């Protein structure tokens, strides 16, 4: 919208329309409308800029969250067989868990290899008694008791999940 003392030009969707200026109050009204329109445009531009700024902030937050998630995944995948109580080689929780589980597994393999099935996965050892041998059950209860003591002392570093009802 543009105007001069004699005429007001209104551009609507690419079409120029000439409005003859016959009344001064129409020119004043056109000026007021142009000012209101300009203020509305400025408000919309400010809102658009605010939205763009918020989108940038959200994108940055999302990038940071993805980076943290990737860092956690890397740590989890590289240390999934480690308790993370201290550095490898200094971790007493990891050492205790390893001593208990390796000692129990070695004992079963030496004395009860026909009485239980043992499977190894990363950060998981499963021992399945194949019959009702009370000595095997006692060894498993002892192993569980020792691991529960560690889990109670260091709950952030060892979790025991009972999968008997799964």
81, 113 in Cβ contact below 8 A? no
Q: Which residue in this structure is represented by tokens 């209860």?
A: 141
Distance CA 64, CA 74 (A): 15
Kindly name the residue from 82, 116, 136, 139 that is annotated as catalytic. Answer: 82
Which entry of 94, 116, 136, 139 is annotated as an active-site residue? 94
Would residue 161 show up in a list of annotated catalytic residues for this protein?
no
Identify whether 136 is a catalytic site residue: no
Which residues belong to the active site? Answer: 82, 94
């Amino acid at each position: 919208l543009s105007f001069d003392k004699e005429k007001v030009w209104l551009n609507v969707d690419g079409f120029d329309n000439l409005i003859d200026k016959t009344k001064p109050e129409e020119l004043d009204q056109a000026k007021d409308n142009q000012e209101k329109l300009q203020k509305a445009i400025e408000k919309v531009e400010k809102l658009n800029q605010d939205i763009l700024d918020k989108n940038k902030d959200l994108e940055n937050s999302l990038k940071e969250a993805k980076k943290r998630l990737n860092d956690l995944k890397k740590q989890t995948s590289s240390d999934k067989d480690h308790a993370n109580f201290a550095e490898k080689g200094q971790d007493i929780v990891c050492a205790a868990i390893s001593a208990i589980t390796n000692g129990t597994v070695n004992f079963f393999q030496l004395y009860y290899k026909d009485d239980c099935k043992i499977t190894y996965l990363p950060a998981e050892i499963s021992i399945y008694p194949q019959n009702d041998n009370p000595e095997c059950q006692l060894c498993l209860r002892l192993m569980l008791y020792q691991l529960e003591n560690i889990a109670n002392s260091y709950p952030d570093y060892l979790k025991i999940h009972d999968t008997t009802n799964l």
